[in-house]
Amino acid sequence: MTPSRVFRLTNMLQRYAWGSPTAIPEILGAAPDGQPVAEMWLGAHPLAPSLATAVAGAAARDEAETVDLAALVRSSPDAMLGRSVVEAYGPRLPFLLKILAAESSLSLQVHPHPHVARAGFRRETAAGIALDAPSRNYKDDQHKPEMLLALTSFEGLCGFRRPARTLALLEGLDGDFVARMREALRASPDADGVRAAFEVALSARDVDCTDDLARTVASVRARIDAGLSTSRADQTVLDLDGWFPGDPGALVSIMLNRVSLAPGEAVFLAAGEVHAYLTGVGVEVMASSDNVLRAGLTTKRVDVEELMSCASYAPRPPQRPVLRAEPGGLTAYRAPVPEFSLLFGAVSGSALVTHDGPRIVLCLDGRLTLSGPLGPVATLDRGESVFVPHDAGHMTLDGDGQVVVAYVP
């Protein structure tokens, strides 16, 4: 019997403007360079695949052939992924793991449903739009449900509030667009009214509405200053207008559920869910896609019509994953999609990773030794990660540290 093979990963950093200059470098044990680091991608997405180097033992860091993870998976899909994963998704890793560090708001966005992503990708490819073109919406043909697990206190906006609550928050605010939003919700206090009010708010982008939005923001500020504000929604409007002055996304924020996550808490976002992360550091796992439709709060491409065509307008509270205790103190976070799940928690002694299929193991703190059936195969310090193929079998983590494991359930 040969020792289990695992592959040490070198992961790609994304330096978007909203990122924190310190959070991800701190996890990696690197000195900040003063520039924002928004995300670290761990996976095989073609836009930024991790580089994989085989390791032979717990202390092995010798020079070996390095290939991108997508190529490694394609070279031996059954061994890397397992037959059931290959049959379901083809010879590709179906999930993408990220560390996300937001110092200011991400865009107001939606991720497309599978049929929308496939059609959009074909349409833009046939039109000859380059994959890296700023005018492109669909970077691949996959949907992008996602789950975010907070590592610090994390704030976000996820899905639409009940219309009655939105109406209460809009009451007393100045501005023609706000008045039209109220009219839409009063006329139809359901998903149809939510869509109509959402469309009114976003239509402010198409006209010179600077003065009208400024009136609304001023009335929000006056309500706070007078001690009459009863919701964090008012402060969110001011925060967003400070980051993106005059952007109608500040109006939309009044319609969205505010989500506050403590470390270890998580939220799931289905395709079509309107959302905007605000601040905090978290681990994000998703179907392996980079398809994002944006409606505001960004300097990137905005396509309101395309976003509205696939957004979900049903008012509902944010969806939380199902949690289950695992052997050794880890917790499984199960989302209602087949592409991904997470294990997360502190290891003090030993913890089992009994799931088959492809796995990515990321040490968030401390030092952990990963062992297979024949003994240790890799040691992970803070910020280090490995890809564990299906054919490596079940694994054990020993040591003291914090870990997250992405896997196919």
Extract the annotated binding site for Zn(2+). 109, 111, 146, 275
Whole-number Å distance between alpha carbons of 325 and 273: 28
Which residue matches tokens 């092995």? 60
Does residue 162 carry a catalytic annotation? no
What is the rounded distance in angstroms from the CA atom of residue 184 to the CA atom of residue 267?
Answer: 29
Question: Would the CA dihedral through 64, 68, 74, 78 be positive or negative?
Answer: positive
Feature table: binding site: 109, 111, 146, 275
Q: Which residues lie below 8 Å from residue 287, measured CB to CB, with a gap of 6+?
A: 94, 95, 96, 142, 143, 144, 145, 146, 337, 339, 340
* 185 closest CA partner among 169, 166, 205, 212: 166
Q: Which helix (H) or strand (E) holds 384?
A: none
**Residue type, position 106, single letter:** L
Q: How far apart are CA 141 and CA 264, in angstroms?
A: 31
Q: Which of 324, 278, 2 is nearest to 152 (CA)?
A: 278
- The answer to whether 378 touches 386, Cβ cutoff 8 Å, is yes
**Which contiguous run of DSSP H or E holds residue 387?**
strand 385-388
Catalytic residue (one of 92, 161, 195, 294): 294
Q: Rounded distance, CA 20 to CA 8, Å?
A: 25
**Is the dihedral angle over the CA atoms 140, 86, 268, 242 positive or is it negative?**
negative
The rounded distance, in Å, linking the Cα atoms of 105 and 111 is 17
What CA–CA distance (Å, rounded) separates 22 from 32?
6
DSSP-based three-state secondary structure for 298 = coil
Residue carrying structure tokens 């009940």: 162
List residues with catalytic annotation: 294
